[in-house]
């Protein structure tokens, strides 16, 4: 039998070789054929540049112990699929993400990314379920009704997140103080499962997953201390922002879609299609946003017994 140190090295080498193979498989759905050497080199440089721009140096070091090729390709493809408007594309990433998420949880430095990925496994699972029920190609995106039904079913028996009881009573008054419905504190379950340290590879941080530019517009500091990691400051900022978005769009689905993918993108879609209706632009939104709205609404039904249409501002 191998000594313990040798066994660890063997297992690590095996995981890295297996991960490289799985990363190649993950890339297959978006590549018409295996890249030629020159094309592969260019692809590798592009991915390395993305990692340098989006992942901390400490995380990159730790990922070399986990499975660096596996992580970089999965995050790249996941971000790409979340930003595209085809919900079904997320289904192909389900197996790889399920494999990676518990590995990231093993290291303190990568655990914030594991928290983000864990909340997004829901999107991949529901996309897989919707794809299995979809008609043959060509096929439109799943309807909002089918997505709502899938999310209600998925969350029907879900217990409270481990941290929820600790934070709910503390954060609801902060939402009310900012003029936002107290029930929207459950955005934190959808965004981070109430993990204050959650971090996305795109740069969103905290319980309410605020991007750096958004946080700065809300008068939060990013450095030397990142206030997005503070649950109460993050909650105040999120509540203030969602209240502003509702004031701008006059509709909770539009406001929360803008929270997820950006108010400029929502305004551009509304202007392009000459509408003020969420339903009219829903299937043109990024896949993540298309799924974020019904997931959040299913969460509100589960936790508070209300819908987005039933939300009222505190003064009401």
Residue 57 reports pLDDT greater than 70: no
Is 88 a member of any domain? yes
Q: Token pair for residue 225?
A: 């201390």
Q: Within this chain, do residues 28 and 102 fall inside the same structural domain, yes or no? A: yes
C-beta of residue 175 within 8 angstroms of C-beta of residue 243: no
Q: Which residue is it, tokens 């901390």?
A: 56
Q: Within this chain, do residues 228 and 137 fall inside the same structural domain, yes or no? A: no
Of 142, 169, 193, at which residue does a domain stop? Answer: 142
Q: Within this chain, do residues 193 and 79 fall inside the same structural domain, yes or no? A: no
Is 211 a member of any domain? yes
pLDDT for res 108: 86
Is 128 a member of any domain? yes
Measured in degrees and rounded to the nearest 5, phi and psi for residue 194 equal 65, 30
Is 162 a member of any domain? yes
Q: Within this chain, do residues 134 and 220 fall inside the same structural domain, yes or no? A: no
Q: Which domain holds residue 256?
A: 158-310
Residue 211 belongs to domain with CATH number: 1.10.530.10
CA pair distance 307, 14, nearest whole angstrom: 48
Lowest mean per-residue pLDDT among 7-21, 103-117, 196-210, 237-251: 7-21
pLDDT for res 43: 42
Is 315 a member of any domain? no
Q: Token pair for residue 40?
A: 């592969």
Lowest mean per-residue pLDDT among 58-67, 175-184, 195-204, 244-253: 58-67
Considering its fold, how many domains does the chain have in total?
2
Q: Within this chain, do residues 290 and 234 fall inside the same structural domain, yes or no? A: yes
Is 94 a member of any domain? yes
Q: Token pair for residue 176?
A: 């009310």
Q: Within this chain, do residues 239 and 137 fall inside the same structural domain, yes or no? A: no
Beta bridge partners of 199: 205
Beta bridge partners of 205: 199, 210
Q: Within this chain, do residues 134 and 181 fall inside the same structural domain, yes or no? A: no
pLDDT for res 231: 98
Residue 307 reports pLDDT greater than 50: yes
Of 86, 115, 142, at which residue does a domain stop? Answer: 142
Q: Within this chain, do residues 124 and 170 fall inside the same structural domain, yes or no? A: no
Q: Within this chain, do residues 125 and 178 fall inside the same structural domain, yes or no? A: no
Q: Within this chain, do residues 121 and 177 fall inside the same structural domain, yes or no? A: no
pLDDT digits (tens, 9 = 90+) for 6-21: 444 434 443 333 333 3
Is 1 a member of any domain? no
Is 150 a member of any domain? no
pLDDT digits (tens, 9 = 90+) for 117-176: 999 999 999 999 999 998 887 788 898 889 999 999 999 999 999 999 999 999 999 999
pLDDT digits (tens, 9 = 90+) for 59-104: 666 656 556 777 788 888 999 999 999 999 999 999 999 988 988 8
Residue 221 reports pLDDT greater than 50: yes
Residue 33 reports pLDDT greater than 80: no
Q: Which residue is it, tokens 């594309």?
A: 89
Measured between its terminal Cα atoms, the distance across the chain in Å is: 71
Q: Within this chain, do residues 189 and 281 fall inside the same structural domain, yes or no? A: yes
Q: Within this chain, do residues 137 and 163 fall inside the same structural domain, yes or no? A: no
């Amino acid at each position: 039998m191998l000594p313990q140190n040798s066994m660890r090295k063997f297992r690590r080498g095996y995981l890295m070789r297996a991960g490289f193979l799985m990363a190649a498989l993950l890339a297959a759905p978006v590549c018409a054929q295996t890249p030629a050497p020159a094309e592969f080199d260019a692809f590798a440089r592009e991915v390395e540049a993305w990692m340098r721009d989006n992942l901390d140096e400490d995380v990159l070091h730790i990922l070399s112990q986990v499975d660096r090729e596996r992580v970089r390709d999965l995050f790249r493809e996941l971000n790409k699929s979340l930003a595209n408007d085809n919900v079904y594309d997320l289904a192909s990433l389900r197996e790889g993400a399920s494999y990676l998420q518990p590995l990231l949880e093993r290291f303190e430095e990568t655990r914030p990314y594991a928290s983000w990925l864990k909340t997004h496994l829901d999107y991949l699972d529901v996309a897989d379920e919707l794809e299995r029920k979809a008609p043959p190609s060509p096929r439109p995106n799943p309807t909002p009704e089918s997505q709502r039904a899938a999310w209600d079913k998925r969350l029907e028996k879900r217990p409270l997140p481990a941290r929820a009881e600790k934070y709910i009573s503390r954060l609801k008054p902060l939402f009310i103080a900012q003029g936002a419905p107290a029930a929207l504190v459950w955005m934190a379950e959808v965004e981070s499962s109430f993990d204050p340290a959650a971090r996305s590879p795109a740069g969103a941080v905290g319980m309410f997953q605020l991007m750096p530019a958004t946080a700065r517009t809300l008068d939060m500091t990013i450095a030397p201390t990142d206030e997005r990691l503070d649950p109460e400051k993050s909650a105040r900022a999120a509540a203030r922002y969602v209240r502003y978005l509702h004031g701008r769009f006059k509709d909770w689905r539009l406001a929360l879609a803008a929270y997820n993918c950006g108010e400029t993108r929502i305004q551009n879609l509304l202007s392009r299609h000459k509408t003020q209706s969420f339903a009219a632009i829903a299937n043109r939104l990024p896949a993540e946003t298309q799924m974020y709205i019904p997931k959040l609404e299913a969460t509100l039904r589960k936790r508070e017994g209300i819908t987005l249409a039933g939300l009222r501002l505190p003064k009401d």
